[in-house]
Amino acid sequence: MSDAARGRGLYLDDLSVGQQFVTASHALDEAQIKAFAAQFDPQPFHLDAEAAKATVFKGLVASGWHTAAITMRLLVESVPLAGGLIGLGGSLTWPRPTRADDVLTVHGEVTDVAPSQSRSDRGTIGISAETRNQRGEVLQKFTATLMVPRRPAA
């Protein structure tokens, strides 16, 4: 996506299937993992590195919802859709757990561009995004449908 496009925000009309994007990166750590878990996912394998050793994860891991939330932050910062990133829904898998030393980057692609049949001012796009760590290991696969405005008439 060009710098010019980033500056003004992308409309549906600017997007096409196959366009790719890579976000900025986010470095995780134990404190972030525990803070998110204490608020939203208070389970031993997210809260206590020692207790986590005895679990199926063999050590502290981030909540999948924490990985999803960081992914959203990276998308918001790096994918400049006009009107913002407004998700209607999506699907997630977590092929491997996110750990405290992971640095997350999202690699994505536009998979569908569909003008609305009933509303001439908007449409939807499909995106597919992988959240990878610094070794290229895939921590989360995410597909989503987003609402995107059409470019207003000049």
Question: Which stretches of the chain bind a second copy, using CB under 8 A?
Answer: 36, 39-45, 55-56, 63-65, 68-70, 72-73, 76, 83-94, 141, 147
Q: How far is the CB of 47 from a second copy (least distance, A)?
A: 11
Rounded CA separation 13/113 (Å): 9
Smallest gap from residue 43 Cβ to a second copy (A): 5
Minimum Å gap between C-beta 120 and a second copy is 15
Return the bridge partners of 104, or none.
Answer: 26
CA-CA distance, 134 to 119, in Å (whole number)? 42
How is 20-35 classified by DSSP, letter by letter? EEEEEEEE--HHHHHH
Name which of 16 and 89 has its Cβ closer to a second copy.
89
Residue (5 or 47) nearer to a second copy, CB = 47
- Alpha-carbon gap, residue 3 to 15, rounded angstroms: 14
Beta-carbon contacts of residue 39 (< 8 Å; ≥ 6 apart): none
- Our CB check for a second copy shows the closer of 19 and 32 to be 32
Q: Which helix (H) or strand (E) holds 78?
A: helix 64-78
Least distance to a second copy, CB of residue 3, Å: 21
Q: Which is nearer to a second copy, 15 or 37 (CB)?
A: 37
